[in-house]
Amino acid sequence: AQSVTQLDSHVSVSEGTPVLLRCNYSSSYSPSLFWYVQHPNKGLQLLLKYTSAATLVKGINGFEAEFKKSETSFHLTKPSAHMSDAAEYFCVVNSGGGADGLTFGKGTHLIIQP
Amino acid sequence: DAGVTQSPTHLIKTRGQHVTLRCSPISGHKSVSWYQQVLGQGPQFIFQYYEKEERGRGNFPDRFSARQFPNYSSELNVNALLLGDSALYLCASSLRARSSYNSPLHFGNGTRLTVT
CATH number at residue B50: 2.60.40.10
Kindly report the nearest CA distance between residue B57 and chain A, in angstroms: 6
From A52, A100, A104, residue closest to B43, measured CB to CB: A104
Query: What distances in angstroms separate CA B88 from CA A51, A66, B21, B63, one per listed residue?
Result: 30, 30, 11, 17
From A41, A43, A101, residue closest to B90, measured CB to CB: A43
What's residue B65's pLDDT?
97
Contact B56 A100 (CB under 8 A): yes
- Rounded to an integer, the average pLDDT of A26-55 is 84
Numbered residues of chain B with Cβ closer than 8 Å to any chain A Cβ: 4, 31, 33, 35, 41-45, 48, 55-58, 90, 92, 97-102, 104-110, 112
| pLDDT tens column, B91-111 | 999 887 766 656 788 999 999
Question: For residue A28, is pLDDT > 90?
Answer: no
Kindly report the nearest CA distance between residue A31 and chain B, in angstroms: 9
CATH number at residue A62: 2.60.40.10
- Rounded to an integer, the average pLDDT of A53-59 is 87
Of B108, B89, B110, B4, the closest CA to residue B47 belongs to: B89
Q: Is A42 on the interface with B (CB under 8 A)?
A: yes
Going by the DSSP 8-state scheme, the letter that residue B103 receives in this structure is B
B61 upstream amide cis, omega within 30 of 0: no
Percent share of chain A, pLDDT over 70:
95
What is the DSSP secondary-structure string of chain A? -EEEEES-SEEEEETTS-EEE-EEEEESS--EEEEEEE-TT--EEEEEE--TT-SEEE-GGG-EEEEETTTTEEEEEESS--GGG-EEEEEEEE---SS---EE---EEEEEE-
Percent share of chain A, pLDDT over 90:
68
- Rounded to an integer, the average pLDDT of B52-61 is 91
Q: Is A58 on the interface with B (CB under 8 A)?
A: no
> How long is chain B?
116
From A32, A98, A103, residue closest to B100, measured CB to CB: A32
Domain that holds residue A85: 2-113
What's residue B99's pLDDT?
64
Q: How many domains does chain B have?
A: 1
Closest-approach residue (CA) in chain B for A92: B42
Which residues in chain A have their CB less than 8 angstroms from residue B90's CB? 43-44
Percent share of chain B, pLDDT over 90:
78
Going by the DSSP 8-state scheme, the letter that residue B100 receives in this structure is B
Closest-approach residue (CA) in chain A for B33: A101
What's residue B101's pLDDT?
59
Question: For residue B16, is pLDDT > 90?
Answer: yes
What's residue B1's pLDDT?
59
- A9 touches A107 (CB < 8 A): yes
Domain that holds residue B98: 5-115
Q: How many domains does chain A have?
A: 1
